[in-house]
């Protein structure tokens, strides 16, 4: 079905910081430019130029955010139902200001650093939303959430999380790699998370800010918080600044995962080696949990206690036992069989002790597949990724019965 055209009205402030965004918008299909105001002073007369609910209005948030909030509210009161009102801001805007802009009537608040491709996706989704308002709702399978937990520190859980996320992107091609799936990696070890170090990227303070301001995340938070690597992997790091383990709430963590589910095919979550209230919010949304351990008696005892905790309120939680620092034996030894019996689960995955490959990947800030692709550890994680994909594909997909999240 051909999308309906939406005359585009641009309302930038006098400084015009987001000129590139406005130029991109004015060239998009289905949004022909109808009029452009020089500054917010034209807002009062804007109602005279607006037509019906086909209007698509874009306003840039100036240095005086309060003035912009008033302008957004005034515009929304004059617009017909169904009109789209986008607000473009710089990356320094606070989550509280974003919430106030949306509360005043902004359909979306987007950063002025948004790429042309991402902006096109947002506009297309908004036009689809209006187009389908009287028709069938948009059905999109929610992304699968894979959570990685550990029985002790230093067992390699972060190595599993980082490299599993890379495998789930399902790269194709020999010389020029292309990914077929969108994957997000979330480091929820908010005190001692090391995903940023593993991938040689700057840690974001987004989670710290969210906890300190006690706000729930939205699309703009996601846009600003994620770091996207050249490989295509999107990463939400643990904060660089210290924050208490209970600095996040169940509702905040759940909201982060819901946003990611709507945008990505797979979401890999690296949990802390601690039990805190908001972990329950992760577990209730988890499609598959990987518990990384070794086969020693203390580690198996810890695994047993963790499984009991995880399944107490989530009895249907699928848990895979991943034995780290140990190559899969041709024949299971007695203590392996005993461990499987105690845990009431097979020892699903085996990751050999390969410190040379692990160190090479960490020093280069790359996944094992790139830094040491022929190493035994890289091959084992590749196999783990394949079995995980098979297990996830055999489960019934959850469908999001609404328009795509932007």
3-state secondary structure the chain: CCCCCCCEEEECCCCCCCHHHHHHHHCCCCCCEEEECCCHHHHHHHHHCCCCCCCEEEEECCCCHHHHHHHHHHHHHHCCCCCEEEEEECCCCCHHHHHHHHHHCCCEEEECCCCHHHHHHHHHHHHHHHHHHHCCCCEEECCEEEEEEECCCCCCHHHHHHHHHHHHCCEECCCCCEECCCEEEEECCCCCCCHHHHCCCCCCCHHHHHHHHCCCCCHHHHHHHCEECCCCCEEECCCCCCCCHHHCCHHHHHHHHHHHHHHCCEEEEECCCCCCCCHHHHHCCCCEEEEEECCCHHHHHHHHHHHHHHHHCCCCCCEEEEEECCCCCCCCCHHHHHHHHHHCCCEEEEECCCHHHHHHHHHHCCCHHHHCCCCHHHHHHHHHHHHHHHHHHCCCCCEEECCCCC
Per-residue pLDDT reduced to its tens digit, 280-308: 999 999 999 999 999 999 999 999 999 99
pLDDT at 205: 92
For the ranges 51-55, 166-170, 236-240, 301-305, which has the lowest average pLDDT?
51-55
CATH number reported for the structural domain that contains residue 39 in this entry: 3.40.50.2300
> Which pLDDT value is given to residue 76?
80
**Across residues 376-395, what is the average pLDDT?**
91
Give the residue from 134, 165, 187 where a domain finishes: 134
Which domain covers residue 109, as residue numbers?
Answer: 8-134
Taking residues 45-69, what's their average pLDDT? 63
Residues 281 and 329 in one domain: yes
pLDDT for 8-29, tens place per residue? 455 544 444 455 666 666 665 5
Based on the domain organization, do 329 and 189 belong to the same domain? yes
Structure-model confidence comparison of residues 371 and 223, the more confident one: 371
Q: What is the pLDDT of residues 246-272, one digit of tens each?
A: 999 999 999 999 999 988 999 999 999
**294 or 48, greater pLDDT:** 294
Read off the pLDDT band of 92 (50, 70, 90).
Answer: confident
Q: Is 151 inside any structural domain?
A: yes
Highest mean pLDDT among 5-19, 57-71, 198-212: 198-212
Residues 339, 392 within the same domain:
yes
Q: Residues 71, 150: one domain?
A: no
The CATH number linked to 350 is: 3.40.50.300
Residue-wise pLDDT for 124-171, tens only, equals: 666 555 444 444 444 457 899 999 999 999 999 999 999 999 999 987
pTM tops 0.75: no
Percent of the chain, pLDDT > 90? 51
Q: Are residues 69 and 217 in the same domain?
A: no
- Please determine, for residue 53, whether its predicted confidence score (pLDDT) is greater than 60: no
Mean pLDDT of 380-389: 94
């Amino acid at each position: 079905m051909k999308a309906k055209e939406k005359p585009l009205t641009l309302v930038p402030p006098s400084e015009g910081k987001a000129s590139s965004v406005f130029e991109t918008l004015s060239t998009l299909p289905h949004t022909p430019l109808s009029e452009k105001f020089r500054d917010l002073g034209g807002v009062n007369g804007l109602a005279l130029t607006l037509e019906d609910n086909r209007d698509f209005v874009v306003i840039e948030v100036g240095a005086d955010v309060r003035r912009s909030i008033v302008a957004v509210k005034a515009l929304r009161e004059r617009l017909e139902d169904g009109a789209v009102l986008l607000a473009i801001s710089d990356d320094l805007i606070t989550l509280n200001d974003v919430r106030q802009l949306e509360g005043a009537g902004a359909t979306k608040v987007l950063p002025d650093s948004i790429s042309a491709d991402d902006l096109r996706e947002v506009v297309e989704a908004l036009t689809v939303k209006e187009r389908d308002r009287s028709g069938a709702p948009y059905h999109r399978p929610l992304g699968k959430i894979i959570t990685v937990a550990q029985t002790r520190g230093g067992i390699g859980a972060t190595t599993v999380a980082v490299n599993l996320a890379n495998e789930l992107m399902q790269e194709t091609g020999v010389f020029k790699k292309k990914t077929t799936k969108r994957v997000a990696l979330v480091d929820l070890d908010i005190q001692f998370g090391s995903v940023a170090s593993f991938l040689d990227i700057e840690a974001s303070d987004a989670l710290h800010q969210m906890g300190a301001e006690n706000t729930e995340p939205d699309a703009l938070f996601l846009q600003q918080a994620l770091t996207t690597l050249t490989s295509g992997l999107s990463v939400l790091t643990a904060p660089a600044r210290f924050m208490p383990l209970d600095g996040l709430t169940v509702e905040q963590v759940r909201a982060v995962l819901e946003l990611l589910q709507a945008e990505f095919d797979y979401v890999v979550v690296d949990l802390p080696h601690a039990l805190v209230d908001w972990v329950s919010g992760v577990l209730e949304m988890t499609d598959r949990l990987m518990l990384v351990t070794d086969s020693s008696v203390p580690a198996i005892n810890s695994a047993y206690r963790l499984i009991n905790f995880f399944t107490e309120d989530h009895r249907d939680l699928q848990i895979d036992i991943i034995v780290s620092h140990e190559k899969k034996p041709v024949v299971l030894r007695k203590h392996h069989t005993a461990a499987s019996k105690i845990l009431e689960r097979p020892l699903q995955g085996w990751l050999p002790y390969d410190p040379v490959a692990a160190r090479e990947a960490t020093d280069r800030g790359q996944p094992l597949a790139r830094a040491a692709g022929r190493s035994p550890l890289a091959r084992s994680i590749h196999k783990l990724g394949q079995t995980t994909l098979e297990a996830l594909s055999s489960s019934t997909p959850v469908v999001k019965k609404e328009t795509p999240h932007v």
